[in-house]
Amino acid sequence: MSGQKTHENLMAAFAGESQANRKYLAYAKKAESEGKANAAKLFRVAADAETLHAHKELELAGKILTTQENLQDAIMGETHEYESMYPEFLEEANREENKAAARIFTFAMKAEEVHAKLYTEALENIDETEEVFYYLCPVCGNIEKVRPDKCVICGVSGDKFIKY
């Protein structure tokens, strides 16, 4: 077992690698939109490398547990986001009259509540073996178990949802 400082360093490294992964994927999408296929490919492979680092750091920090425990942790995290984090962020964005930030914080807050409910449902049905499909709204991050006619959070057409 690592010492306290090493544990803190593992978690800091995990956070940094996780952010790099997401950032590089966003950069890849931008490069693709500009027709820069080689740069996009490099960003994607680097993002995957950062994921490898992040997963190992999280594992070494002792944070990957049983699926039941991981679902409980996910419920706690999503609940914190929609009950505390995003409402505070939204309040500040509104105070600063940043409509774009307020919009994305609202979408995320509502989607995180859905995510928490889905994790709770998965935990309650942890031994279920029948395959479940999920549909992701590419605009706001809402997840549905049945493809909707339109997103209940942002209104995007259901045919835009991505099936998992």
Give the domain ranges of the chain: 4-60, 66-130, 131-164
Q: Contact 127/99 with Cβ under 8 angstroms?
A: no
Average pLDDT over residues 35-57: 98
pLDDT tens for 72-112 read 999 999 999 999 999 999 999 999 999 999 999 999 999 99
What integer pLDDT is reported at residue 2 of this predicted model?
65
The pair of three-digit structure tokens given for residue 74, joined into one six-digit string: 């996910």
pLDDT tens for 41-50 read 999 999 999 9
3-class secondary-structure state, position 131: coil
pTM of the model as a whole: 0.91
Residue 52, pLDDT > 80, answer: yes
Domain 66-130 belongs in CATH node 1.20.1260.10: yes
Please indicate whether the domains covering 4-60 and 66-130 agree at the CATH topology level. yes
Q: Which residue, among 146, 144, 147, 142, has the nearest Cα to 158 in the 3D structure?
A: 147
Number of helices (H), then strands (E), belonging to the chain: the values are 5, 3
For residue 39, give every residue at least 6 positions away whose Cβ sits within 8 Å of its Cβ, in sequence order, or none: 27, 28, 31
Domain 4-60 belongs in CATH node 3.30.565.10: no
Region for 66 from its dihedrals, namely left if φ exceeds 0, alpha if ψ lies in -120 to 50, beta otherwise = beta
What integer pLDDT is reported at residue 82 of this predicted model?
98
- Strand partners for 144: 135
Domain 131-164 belongs in CATH node 3.40.109.10: no
What integer pLDDT is reported at residue 1 of this predicted model?
54
The pair of three-digit structure tokens given for residue 108, joined into one six-digit string: 């995320």
pLDDT tens for 113-156 read 999 999 999 999 999 999 999 999 999 999 999 999 999 999 99
d(CA 9, CA 58): 11
